[in-house]
Structure 1
Amino acid sequence: MTEDFVRVDWKPGISPIPYAIARQDWQEVKTQFAETENGYSISSAKLKVIVKEDGSLKFCDSSGQILREELPPSRKSEGWLHQAQLRQEEQIYGLGERFSYLNLRAAKDEKQQPKTYRMWNYDAAGMYGPGSAPMYICIPVYLGLHSSGSYLIFYENSFDAYFTFGEIAVADFAGGSLRYYFTYGVPAQLLERYTELTGRAALPPLWALGYHQSKWGYRTEEKIREEAQAFQDRNLPLSAIHLDIDCQVGNRAFTIAPDRFPKLGSFTQELKELGVQFIAILNPGIKYSRHSNLFLEGQILDGFCKLPNGKLVVAPVWPGWCVFPDFTNPKVRGWWSRQYQYLLDVGVAGFWYDMNEPAAFIVWGDRSLPKVTQHYMEGRGGDHREAHNIYPRTNSSVSFGREYFTYGGEKAINSAYLPSYRRQ
C-alpha cells in the first residue's frame, strides 16, 4: 500500500465490508518478488515480507532487522486463529477502551496468566471496576514496542474476538476473514498510517474543546437556566450542557418535552449568548408502538432488525419495548439522518449517543441483540455476530457529512468501528 505499509489477506472467510476503511486509492508501489528457502519474499525500499510454505510470516525493515514474526494462521469452522511471537521486553498498547494497564501485556488474570481481552462492545452500565471486560469501545488494533522498534497491527474484522499477550500474541476471531494491516516506524508514524487508512477526526468547533456539564435531572428550561447562571456567578467556564433522557417525551428518540421546554428556539439562543451549547441525548431503540411515528415510518421502510423467522427483534430499553434500526441499510441511514433537522432548526448544537453498543436491559447473558439478528449489510446480508461491533459506527455515521467513503453507491462516514465522538 506504501513502502512501509502492507495488507495481508488469508482465505477463505467472509470478506469485510469496508466500514472501517477511509482510503482506497493507494498508489502502486515498486516491489521485488523473490524465491527463498522454503518460501518467498516481497520487498519494497523500506519493508520486506517473508512468507514460508507453512504460512508463517516475517516482517523486516530495509536493513533486514526482524520486526515481527507470525506463526502459521489456523482456520477454524468459521473464524481464524492468528498468532505472533512476542519478545520478552515487548510492550503492547491498544484494543480500544480497556479497564487495564496501559501496557496490556502487564495485566494478569486471577491465575496470574496473561489477561484475555474481548472484542465485543458492551454496555457496562456503570457497574465496572479494575479488570472489567469487555467495555464500551473495542477496536482490533494494537501497537507493539520492543528493542528493535515499533509496529502496528489493525485487523479489519468486526466479529467477536479474544486477544491475549503472553509469550505469543493471540487474536482469535469467531468469524469473518483474516485481513490485517501492518506498518512500522516510530509511534507517531504508526498513527499517521493508521489514520490515513481509517480516517482522521475533523477539526471540532472551538466550544467542543471546553468544559461540558452533564447529569441526570435537567428536565426543564428553568433547571438548565439555573445551572448555567450558577457557572456564571462563580466565574467558571462552561461550553455545553448535556441533557439526559429525562428531557424527552417518554424517553423517546428525537423528542424534547414541549411542556417543559415551551420556547426551545429562544432558550437555546439565550444559552448561546452565555457561550453555552445545548446538547440532546439520542438512543437508537425505537418504542414498539403504533402511536410512535418513528416506529410507523421504520416499519414502512422495512428498516428494523429482524430474527431469521422474519419477526422484529424486540427488547426493553429506556422507552420500554423497543425495535432497532438496521443502520447497515443505506435507506435506513438516510431516513435516520432526516430526523435531526427540526432539532437543529431550534438551536440544538449536538447530540450524545447512548445505548448504541447496541444495548438492551437484559438481566443475564449478553446485554445486546440476539446473535441471530439479521442485518442488511449493504445488501450482502449477515447477522449480529458481524454487525454488533459496527452498530455504533453505522448509527453515528449519519450525523456527519464531510469525509466519506463510498460502498455500493451509498456514502457513509468512516470511523473504524468507533462511535462518532471519537472519530469522524
Structure 2
Amino acid sequence: MHTSTSAFTTPVFLAAYGESYTMLGMRDLKIKTQLKKSYVFKVLLQGEIYEIEGNIFRLKINEAAPLRARYEVPDVLIKEPTTQKLSLSQKEGGVLVLTSVNEDYKLRVTANPFQVELQFKDETVLSMNSNGLLYFEHLQPPPSDRYSLWQEKFGSFLDIKAHGPSSVGMDFSLHGFDHLYGIPQHTESLLLKNTSDGDAYRLYNLDIFGHKIHDKIGIYGSVPLLIAHKPDRTLGIFWLNSSETLVDINTKAVPEHIPTESAADISKQRAVPLTDVRWMSESGIIDVFLLMGPTAFDIFRQFAQLTGTQALPPLFSLGYHQCRWNYEDEQDVKAVDAGFDEHDIPYDVIWLDIEHTDGKRYFTWDKKKFQNPKRMQELLRKKKRKLVVIVDPHIKADPMYTLYSQGKEKGYFVKDRNGKDFEGICWPGSSYYLDFTNPEVRKWYADQFAFKTYKGSTNILFVWNDMNEPSVFKGAELTMQKDAVHYNNWEHRELHNLYGFYQQMATAEGLIKRSSGKERPFVLTRSFFAGSQKYGAVWTGDNTAEWGYLKISIPMLLTISMAGISFCGADVGGFIGDPEPELLVRWYQAGAYQPFFRGHSNMKSKRREPWLFGEKNTQIIREAIRERYVLLPYLYTLFYRAHTEAEPVMRPLWIEFPEKLETFGVEDEYMLGNALLVYPVTDKEAKAVSVLLPGSKEVRVIQSCSAFQPTQIYYTIPIFQRGGTVIPLKTAAGKSTEWMTNISYELRVALNTEACAVGELYLDDGHSFQYLHKKQFLFRKFTFHKNILSSSCTDESGQYRTTCVVERVIFLGLGQQPTLVTACSKGNEPTFILLHLVILILLHSYVYIWHI
C-alpha cells in the first residue's frame, strides 16, 4: 500500500494495490473454486476518511477507476455531511496517525496490512479490518465462458449479474463491548446474538407471511444501524448500503491489555469482552459512518444529523386506528363507526384495505360497494374522524386503467434484464411496478393524490403503503428479481432495500402537495430503510394472534425505535388468526402505550371490533383506549422531542439507565419517554408480574380480582411514573382527538426523594406546518421545587393561543396533605397555564410512583 502525502486534510486518501480477494486480507479464494487465475487483476482501491462535526467519522472505499460507476446510496442522507480537517500527527513506517479537531480522537491507519484503529484519548475503542476480512470484488469485463459467478440460480429463477460479482465487506472490532442492538427488522430479541452458528442477521426486505419468532431472516424493513453499549460509552456503526446485507457477530473474552510484562501484572489480568462485527453486502461500495456518541442520546442525534428526524405526526394519527382486511362497503364503515359511539370507545381512523378498490386498481373505488366515497368521508368528518386507504406499488395490467396506460406510455415501470417492463404477479394478477427511484416517477406519482385526479378523495383521506418490499407473487423469495433494471440502468440488487422508502417518500410528498404544503401527511409503510422516519410510520407486518407474537413485538418495536423510527407499532390482536379474548385484551393494553396504535386482522379472521367479546372485555378494552387518549398530551410532547432532538418515544431501559447492567438485556418492559415505565403483560393467565425498577428494588405487582367475578382475572398492566417527573394529561377522553381540543389538562407530578420534579408540554394546532413556518406552538416547562410548582417557556420563539386550562395537579409521593395551597402568577407573563383547581393525593389509579 502506498499513500499520498498531500492529501491528509479532508478527506484522507489511501491508495492500495493488490490482487483481488487476497489484497488487504480479502476472503479466501477457495470460496470461489471456479475462479480462474486469469481473472485476478491488480486493482487500485481508494479509501477516504472524513471527520464530520459531532463525533462522527466516515470511511469510504471504492475502486479508483472502476469499469463503470458503482452504486452509492442516494437520497437517504439529508445532505452531504460537512467535513472537518483531520490533522496528520504522525507518519512513519507505513503508519499514519490522524487527530480529530478536538484532539480527543485519533485514527491510527496502518498501510500493510490495512487497518484502522479509532482511539479515544489513546484507548482503542474500535478497529477496522483487524481480522483481515475486508474484501472488495472489483468490476471486471465479462468472461467469454460466462462462468457461474456471473449467474446464479435460485430455485427455478436465474439471476444474471450484468456486471459480474461486486460484493463488499469489512470487519469491525468493538473493544470492551458485549451488548449490541439495532439492525432491524427481525422477529428477534432486543440484544443481538452471536452468529457463530453461521446464521447471520440478514437485511433484505421481504414479504414473509406469518414470519417465525426468533429468526434472523430479514423481513419487511432494513436499517443498517448497529449500536454497541457499555456502562461508560455507546457507539454506532451505520453501514450505508441498500443491497442484500449480512451481519455476523462474534463476542469473545480477551485478556486485558497491561502495559508492563511483570509476572505480578500478568497474574492480575482479567478477561474483557471483544466483539467482532462483520458486514457483507452484495454490491455497492463501502460507505460507513462511525457514530462515537459517547451517550445513546448522542448516537440518536448523530444518526438524525445524517438521515433526518422523525416527522412530527398529525395529532389524530396518535389516536386509535381501526382496520380490517376488509370493511366491506359504505354501510359496513358506517356501522363500525357507530359501534364505537354506541359503546363509548374513542377512535380516530377507520381503514380500508385492497377490497375497496375497483379490481385492485389503486386510486379507485369499487362502484358497487363504495358508490359515494365523498359522502362516506363527510359523515366521518362530522364525527371528527379520518379515513386511511391502501395504495400499493404494483399496477394492474389493464390498458383502460389510467395509471397503467400513463405509466406504460411514459416508461415509468421497472424493466427486466431484456429491457421490457418487468411483469410480476400480485393482488390484481398481472402487474407492473412503478420505478420510484426515478425522481420524475415520484413527482408524477405524488400528483395522483390531487383531489381532481384521485376522484372521491378528500382532505381527511390518508394513505397506507403495503406490499412495497416489493412483493411479487411467484417471484424469487416473493420479491423482484435482482437483475431487474431501474432508473439510470441500476440493477435492482443495488437498491432493493430502498424501494419502499421511495414509495413512502413519494406518497408523503403527494399528500403535502395536495394541501398546497399546509397540512402534515400521514403515511404508513410496511417496507422501510434508514431515513424512513422523515415520511411517516411503520409497523411490524403480518404477525399472528398468538402470545409469543405479543411478547416479541416489544423488542421489535424497541429496535425499530432505536434505529430512528419512533412512529412504529404492531397490529393489535395479531393479523393472522383469531385471538382468544384474554390475548386481545392484553394486546390492547400493550398497544395503548406504544407509538402507533392500530387494531388489524386478516380477511379470514373473525370480526373483532372491541365490543364483540362480551361486556367485561369491552369494558377493559374501552379503559385501555381511554387511557391512551388521556395520555396524548404527554405522547405528543414526546413526538415533538423525537422530531427536534431525535429522542426515541419508546426506549429500552438501558437508554435511561446506561450504567445499570441489569437493564442491558431487559425487553419485556420499557420506558415511554423518560417518565413512564411500562410493563405489558404478555403471558396467559398471569396474575402477578415481577417488574424491574432500575435503581430500586424489583417489585411484584399482584392483579386484583375485586372489580370482576372472582373467577376472572382483573386485567391491568403496571405503569410506573419515575420520581422527579411531571407528565401532562387530559382530564378526560373524547370521542376522537378533535373532540378533545378544549378538554382541560392535568399535571401528574411524581416527586423524587428530594421532593422535586420537572416535565414538559408541547402544544400546537395538531395538523398543519404552522408550528414550523409561523412558530405557532407553545412549549412549556413545569418545575416543582421547594414546594412551588412553576411554569416557564421552554422555547420563547413559539406563540399559540388556547383557551385550555390546567384544571388539576396531582401529586404522587408528597408525603403529607398540605394545609394551604396558593395559586399565583408571575407579573404579566402571558401563559395558557391557569391553576384552576388543585388536587393533591398520594397515589392515583393504576400508576405507581417509582423512586430511584
The two structures have a TM-score, normalised by structure 2, of 0.45
Q: Does 1:74 align with 2:119?
A: no
| Match among 377, 380, 395 for residue 271 of structure 1 | 380
**Matches of 1:253 and 1:178, distance apart in 2:** 38
Counterpart of 2:467 in structure 1: which amino acid? M
Of the structure 1 ranges 225-234 and 15-24, higher mean CA displacement relative to structure 2 is found in 15-24
Q: How many residues align?
A: 404
2:357–2:366 Cα contact (<8 Å) kept: yes
Q: Paired residue for 1:320?
A: 429
Note the 1:7-406 alignment, pairs <5 A.
7-12=58-63, 14-24=70-80, 26=82, 28-34=83-89, 35=91, 38-44=94-100, 45=102, 46-53=104-111, 54-61=113-120, 63-71=121-129, 72=132, 73-76=134-137, 77-87=165-175, 89-105=177-193, 113=197, 115-131=199-215, 133-146=217-230, 148-167=232-251, 168-184=276-292, 185-342=294-451, 343=454, 345-362=457-474, 365-376=476-487, 379=488, 381-401=489-509
Pair 1:271–1:361, CA change in 2 (3 A) = same
Q: Alpha-carbon deviations, 1:278-303, whole Å to 9, x = none?
A: 00001111011212221110011111
Counterpart of 1:178 in structure 2: which amino acid? I
1:67–1:148 Cα contact (<8 Å) kept: no
2:73–2:241 Cα contact (<8 Å) kept: no
**Matches of 1:86 and 1:43, distance apart in 2:** 20
Shift of residue 309, structure 1, vs aligned partner: 1.5
**Matches of 1:303 and 1:268, distance apart in 2:** 32
Pair 1:415–1:88, CA change in 2 (3 A) = closer
Structure 1, unmatched stretches of 5+, are 405-413
Q: Paired residue for 1:408?
A: none
**Percent same amino acid among aligned pairs?**
23
**Matches of 1:59 and 1:99, distance apart in 2:** 32
SS at match of 2:377: helix
Structure 2, unmatched stretches of 5+, are 1-51, 138-164, 252-275, 513-527, 538-564, 566-642, 644-852
1:6–1:182 Cα contact (<8 Å) kept: yes
Shift of residue 148, structure 1, vs aligned partner: 5.0
* Bigger-Rg structure (1/2): 2
Shift of residue 134, structure 1, vs aligned partner: 1.4
**Matches of 1:171 and 1:31, distance apart in 2:** 26
Counterpart of 1:142 in structure 2: which amino acid? L
**Matches of 1:36 and 1:280, distance apart in 2:** 64
Shift of residue 97, structure 1, vs aligned partner: 1.5
Shift of residue 58, structure 1, vs aligned partner: 1.2
Counterpart of 1:75 in structure 2: which amino acid? F
SS at match of 1:11: strand
Shift of residue 75, structure 1, vs aligned partner: 1.6
**Matches of 1:60 and 1:17, distance apart in 2:** 28
**Matches of 1:395 and 1:3, distance apart in 2:** 31
The two structures, once aligned, show a CA RMSD in angstroms of: 2.4
2:127–2:172 Cα contact (<8 Å) kept: yes
1:284–1:355 Cα contact (<8 Å) kept: yes
Shift of residue 172, structure 1, vs aligned partner: 0.8
Shift of residue 70, structure 1, vs aligned partner: 1.6
Counterpart of 1:47 in structure 2: which amino acid? Y
**Matches of 2:190 and 2:99, distance apart in 1:** 33
Q: Alpha-carbon deviations, 1:87-140, whole Å to 9, x = none?
A: 57511111122111111125x6xxx72641111100012343331611101111
Q: Paired residue for 1:407?
A: none
Counterpart of 2:223 in structure 1: which amino acid? I
**Matches of 1:207 and 1:179, distance apart in 2:** 39
Shift of residue 83, structure 1, vs aligned partner: 0.5
1:90–1:147 Cα contact (<8 Å) kept: no
Counterpart of 2:126 in structure 1: which amino acid? R
SS at match of 1:374: coil
SS at match of 2:287: strand
Counterpart of 1:124 in structure 2: which amino acid? I
Counterpart of 1:146 in structure 2: which amino acid? K
Counterpart of 1:74 in structure 2: which amino acid? Y
**Matches of 1:417 and 1:358, distance apart in 2:** 18
**Matches of 2:343 and 2:96, distance apart in 1:** 69
**Matches of 1:88 and 1:17, distance apart in 2:** 31
SS at match of 2:387: strand
Of the structure 1 ranges 84-93 and 250-259, higher mean CA displacement relative to structure 2 is found in 84-93
**Matches of 2:56 and 2:78, distance apart in 1:** 15
Counterpart of 2:532 in structure 1: which amino acid? L
Pair 1:102–1:118, CA change in 2 (3 A) = same
**Matches of 1:275 and 1:128, distance apart in 2:** 39
**Matches of 2:78 and 2:301, distance apart in 1:** 13
Counterpart of 2:478 in structure 1: which amino acid? R
Of structures 1 and 2, the one with the larger relative CO (CA 8 A, separation 6+) is 1
Pair 1:65–1:349, CA change in 2 (3 A) = farther
Q: Alpha-carbon deviations, 1:229-250, whole Å to 9, x = none?
A: 1111222121111111011111
Counterpart of 2:135 in structure 1: which amino acid? S
Shift of residue 304, structure 1, vs aligned partner: 0.7
**Matches of 2:359 and 2:460, distance apart in 1:** 19
1:278–1:347 Cα contact (<8 Å) kept: no
**Matches of 1:275 and 1:300, distance apart in 2:** 41
Q: Alpha-carbon deviations, 1:43-91, whole Å to 9, x = none?
A: 2214222211122111122x22222112142223512121112457511
Counterpart of 2:418 in structure 1: which amino acid? N
**Matches of 2:462 and 2:187, distance apart in 1:** 28
Shift of residue 345, structure 1, vs aligned partner: 4.7
**Matches of 2:406 and 2:509, distance apart in 1:** 23
1:304–1:323 Cα contact (<8 Å) kept: yes
Counterpart of 1:116 in structure 2: which amino acid? A
Of the structure 1 ranges 138-147 and 33-42, higher mean CA displacement relative to structure 2 is found in 33-42
Q: Paired residue for 2:536?
A: 421
**Matches of 2:498 and 2:232, distance apart in 1:** 35
The two structures have a TM-score, normalised by structure 1, of 0.89
Pair 1:37–1:149, CA change in 2 (3 A) = farther
Counterpart of 1:57 in structure 2: which amino acid? V
SS at match of 1:341: coil
